[in-house]
Structure 1
Amino acid sequence: MHDLPELTRSELAARLNALRLAQRSQPMPDWSMRAARLMTLQRLIVENRAALIAAVNQDFGQRPAQETELLELVPVLAGIEHALKQGKRWMRLRRRAVGWRLWPASGWQMPQPRGVIGIVVPWNYPLFLSLGPLTGALAAGNRVMIKLSESSPAVFALMHKLIGDYFSPDEVVVYGGKVEEARAFVSLPFDQILFTGSTDVGRSVMTAAAGNLTPVVLELGGKSPALILDECDFEQAVSRILYGKLVNGGQTCVAPDYVLLPAGRETDFIAVARRWAERLYPAFPRDFASMATASQFKRMQTIHDEALTLGALAHGLLPTANADAVTRFFPPFVYTGVPDESRLLSEELFGPLLPLVPYQTLDEALDWINDRPHPLALYVFTRSRRAARQVLQRTHAGGVTINDTLLHIAAAELPFGGVGASGMGAYHGKDGFDAMSHLKPVLRQGPIRALDWLAPPYGAQFDRLVKWLTR
């Protein structure tokens, strides 16, 4: 069922050209057409909810249906609903002042579809990170090619069928394939590429896109810190960090990757974390996602073993739970005494491993964050608005949630994007519409113009007017 034929670069290019020709025949779809496509996407999800959830579970080995529902389908459906309500308004011409010096001209921006968007999707949230960007692309009036991960064969097979059943082949198409096909995909001359994945692969995507001068939106990763300040609600902070870390088995690009906490609170953190882990997962591994691939499981084991070799202490949060290479379940651990050079503190973890980094002063904690590449997300726990404002002003991150984790990515009107090593560009809601549109500037001049008085032959009048214009 999953062995659909891979396409060569020339075949992919032919599909892209077909989409581009279709777009050229309808370069500015009206709102009724865009809304119809969004409602088609909505219907695809609602009518095939169970099958989509089952396909994700099949690819993972085990992924709780409730997590796929809550973390993937709910936000996508919310995004479609938001686009249906607001999209017609987003399409309107946007008046822009052109300044009195160009009198009597007027100016505006016209949101125009970019054309054909290429969306490259990772394996960890294959529905949210394909159908979410697809929502913005359709609202903006584009055609779309989607490339799913080779690690999501069941999702690919199902999506390939459903997209073919619900959409015309000149509207949206879906591909799978291995690394070679992914390289061929991103080297095509799309009108825009949206890529979600690792920083290293993001560099390769940007290099390939540069050959065609294709604009890119890169949603990458990095080590997203959770910063606990002295005066926060400590129990609440630990519980919310733990949920954000362990949902989807930690395989979330905006999961807390390490915790900065006041020195001396490590033992308190471990005690609270154990209590909450046992409350969340009383029958582990029930309700817990397995590592999605054998290589991902092996990576968790290697990082864990290396940390112990370097002298770190591992504190199991579920003492009776053991790692199992056959089922790919890896239990959650918190680490103390972690050397800076360990992979626990130098790589994005993407699993249920959580190092603790103690600090003495807030300045020290902020220096720790700022000495490292800008993260995709930052979480700060504090009761003080002043302290929160200080953290916001002195750090860079793609997005921030205060006193919780993950939630900024679920807000339809907040853009989701990275900064520096964690990405560039942003989407979701209106920001997604704008990112996948060309906001074309237009100036309309009147029957007379001030410039006529500045035309050659130059003389005293010109000098007087320029002096007045630059006063």
Structure 2
Amino acid sequence: MSDTDTKEIERMNQLFAAQKAAFETDRHRAYEDRLRDIDAIASLNAKHKDAIKDAAAADFGVRSRCETQLSEISYMRTAAEHTRRQLWSWMQKKKVSIPGNLKPGKAYIRREPIGVVGIISPWNYPYQLAFSPILAALAAGCRVMLKPSEYTPNMSELMKSMLAEEFDEDHVAVVLGGPDVGQAFTTIAFDHLLYTGSTQVGRLVAKAAAENLTPVTLELGGKSPVIVADDFPSEKAGETLAFGKFMNAGQTCIAPDYVLAPEGRSRTIADSIIARVQKAYPDWATDEDYTAIVSDKHYERLNGLIEEARAGGAEILQAEGGDPGNARKIAPTVVLNPPEDSGLMQEEIFGPVLPIVEHNGLEDAMKRVNARDRPLALYVYSKNKKTARSVIEGTISGGTVINNTMLHYAVEDLPFGGVGASGYGAYHGEAGFETFTHARAVFEAPVWHPSRLIQPPYGKIFDAVANK
């Protein structure tokens, strides 16, 4: 472990102690104070939009400024506006009914801040996937510590300086460092820990948090499938699949990971995807709107997956383009019929490579999906609503979109989260508020309550009341 990481771990522990102490002095942060916190996030988002785009581009080598605007900055603006608009209603206590033998009295649920929240954010959307859970935790009245990814150092430094403009470190703090710092971060006795990243690391995070009985939200990934029904046109499917797959060069946890196409139509769907990509990125190699791969490690892994599929007899289709030079760019790629045991069909791809295999009916397609771990997202294309809904009934996934991809993520009133190996817990909108609050059950009884009639010594009154 480096001296820098050692010092950062010491600082991290000091920050946690300071935030715990600060929370104890302000356990029930007022509505007006929470509004100021939300407004501070919105203000930072607007003030630093150009710096956010610059930092993302620096970390990726090439990162579409339009995609950074759309998926990170505009998303956070909408999320902050929604949270501000709904916060008062979320904070109200919820009355519940009581049985007749407990009357008079009243019962209700209070949503109370959980305490100090730890957030471990990933590199693929380094700003939005850090600030979105921060927004939810602040709306809940919590204190927050963030550990961003070491793969995006420019964005991490920027977020640290941004947050320092509006928040004291006993309220919101950023911890920087590599895997050793990240591992130490998971051992802190947070009141809640949210991790976004791979399933493999998610298991380690859950184990570390369990030592402190820290509740965890895991936003993981997996292989999100696309099922295309017989009745859906190939061209229409190709248009939205191309956008969903090749935005951010496929480095998206809910990007389509493989397509199950009707028998005999894999090539027509593939051709429609490539045609749409060619129109979107006339020369992907030099187009500033086509994002590069974040690191040499990920770049080499993706090229290895393509070559493995090629060696296994798969047909490789790629968009035309020039020489990307030193940029870590991979051509938008569609792979027809890769071997089932290949990496493309066994691992989450997380890059601009889309395998297509064929099914012989929706029952077969659903059987294939259900044979794998439960995915974070599932996409179904059908002109018939009953057909699409039958796929929803016959499968399990974190979220689902009919006749498009990824749009559920942008709906703040929909909880976002996985199921099974794709994660557990959820946030966004009210789901995020609930994640970072405790549902405290309260019963208020008058000074004298009939429950005294069923206390010992038991007798006739007890029989009359208890057996009623």
Range class of TM-score, shorter chain: over 0.9
What one-letter code is carried by the residue in structure 2 that aligns with 1:190? F
- Which digits, 9 at most, give the CA deviation of each residue in 1:12-69, with x for residues without a partner? 1221010111111111111110011111111111111101110011000000100000
Q: 2:361 — aligned with what? A: 361
**Is it true that 1:292 corresponds to 2:294 in the alignment?**
yes
Read off the aligned partner of 2:204 and give its amino acid letter: S
Q: Which amino acid aligns with 2:184?
A: A
Give the match for residue 410 of structure 1: 410
* Structure-1 residue corresponding to 2:177: 177
Residue 65 of structure 1 corresponds to 65
CA change 1:7–1:109 in 2 (3 A) is: farther
Contact 1:8 1:184 in 2 (8 A): no
Q: How does 1:380-395 map to 2 (within 5 A)?
A: 380-395=380-395
Q: In the alignment, does 2:82 pair up with 1:82?
A: yes
What is the aligned length? 464
Contact 1:61 1:327 in 2 (8 A): yes
Counterparts of 2:134 and 2:86, CA distance in 1: 16
2:219 maps to 1:235: no
Q: Distance in 2 between matches of 1:333 and 1:101?
A: 67
In structure 2, distance between residues paired with 1:41 and 1:116: 18
Distance of aligned partners of 1:323 and 1:221 in 2 relative to their CA distance in 1, 3 Å threshold = farther
Q: Post-superposition shift, 1:105? A: 2.2
Distance in 2, matches of 1:57 and 1:121, equals 18
> CA separation of 1:131/1:4 partners in 2, compared to 1, >3 Å: closer, same or farther?
farther
Cα distance 1:138–1:408, how it changes in 2: closer, same or farther (>3 A)?
A: same
Deviation at 1:308, TM superposition (A): 1.4
- Between the aligned partners of 2:99 and 2:383, the Cα distance in structure 1 is 45
AA in 2 matched with 1:175? V
Matched with 1:53 is: 53
Shift of 1:437: 0.6
Q: Match for 2:306 among 304, 307, 329?
A: 304
Is 1:319 the equivalent of 2:357?
Answer: no
| Contact 1:7–1:181, Cα closer than 8 Å, also in 2 | no
| 1:16 counterpart letter in structure 2 | F
Other-structure match for 1:212: 212
- Deviation per residue, 1:56-100 (Å, 9 max, x gap): 110000001000000111111100011111111111111112322
Kept in 1: contact 2:8–2:175 (CA 8 A): no
- Structure 1 partner of 2:344: 344
For residues 85 and 74 of structure 1, what CA distance do their matches in structure 2 show?
A: 17
One-letter identity of the residue aligned with 1:215: P
**Contact persistence 1:313–1:337 (CA under 8 A):** yes
For residues 250 and 4 of structure 2, the distance between their equivalents in structure 1, rounded to whole angstroms, comes to: 30
Q: CA deviation at 1:242?
A: 1.0
- Following superposition, the deviation at residue 166 of structure 1 comes to 2.0
Q: Report the AA paired with residue 109 of structure 1.
A: I
Q: Following the alignment from structure 1 to structure 2, what is the Cα–Cα distance between the partners of residues 320 and 92?
A: 56
**Which residue does the alignment assign to 2:119?**
119
Gaps of 5+ in 2: none
Say if 1:321 and 1:331, in contact at 8 Å, map to a contact too: no
Residues in 2 aligned to 1:267 and 1:11: alpha-carbon distance in whole angstroms: 56
The answer on whether the counterparts of 2:274 and 2:334 sit within 8 Å (CA) in structure 1 is no
Q: Secondary structure at the match of 1:442?
A: strand
CA deviation vs aligned residue, 1:156-210 (integer Å, no higher than 9, x gap): 1111111112211221111220000000011100010011000000000000100
1:298 deviates by 0.5
SS of match in other structure, 2:231: coil
Give the CA deviation at 1:319: 3.2
SS at match of 1:443: strand
Aligned CA distance change for structure 1 residues 164 and 320 (closer, same or farther; 3 Å): closer
Please say which of residues 368-377 and 9-18 is displaced more in the overlay: 9-18
- Measured in 2, the distance between the counterparts of 1:354 and 1:323 equals 20
Calculate the TM-score normalised by the size of structure 2. Answer: 0.96
Give the deviation of 1:142 after TM superposition: 0.6
Paired amino acid for 2:236: Q
Q: Is the 8 A contact 1:322 1:330 kept in 2?
A: no
Normalising by structure 1, report the TM-score: 0.96
Q: Judging changes above 3 Å, is the alpha-carbon distance between structure 1 residues 63 and 4 closer, same or farther for their aligned structure 2 residues?
A: farther
Q: Distance in 2 between matches of 1:331 and 1:4?
A: 38
SS in 2 for 1:417: coil
Does structure 2 retain, via aligned residues, the 8 Å contact 1:104–1:448? no
Aligned partners of 1:445 and 1:396: how far apart in 2? 43
- In the other structure, the counterpart of 2:153 is 153
RMSD (Å) for aligned C-alpha atoms: 1.5
Distance across 2 between alignment mates of 1:41 and 1:13:
25
How far 1:461 moved relative to its partner? 3.6
Equivalent pair of 1:4/1:157 in contact (CA under 8 Å): no
Q: Is the 8 A contact 1:145 1:174 kept in 2?
A: yes
Contact 1:28 1:112 in 2 (8 A): yes
State the alpha-carbon separation in 2 of the partners of residues 288 and 226 from structure 1.
Answer: 23
Aligned mates of 2:258, 2:101 — CA distance in 1: 54
Unaligned stretches of 5+ residues in structure 1: none
Matched residue of 1:193: which SS? strand
Mapped contact 2:267–2:336 kept (Cα < 8 A): no
Equivalent position amino acid for 2:296 in 1: A
**Preserved contact between residue 378 and residue 399 of structure 1 (Cα < 8 Å):** yes
Tell me if the contact between 2:75 and 2:128 (Cα under 8 Å) persists in the aligned partners.
yes
Aligned-partner Cα distance in 2 for 1:179–1:105: 53
Rounded to whole Å, the distance in 1 between the matches of 2:68 and 2:7 is 29
Partners of 2:230 and 2:324 in 1: CA distance: 34
* Post-superposition offset of 1:335: 1.1
The CA distance in 2 between the partners of 1:101 and 1:75, in whole Å, is 49
SS of 2:467's partner is helix
Distance 2:387 2:121 in 1: 37
Distance in 1 of aligned mates of 2:263 and 2:322: 28
Counterpart of 1:145, as a letter, is: M
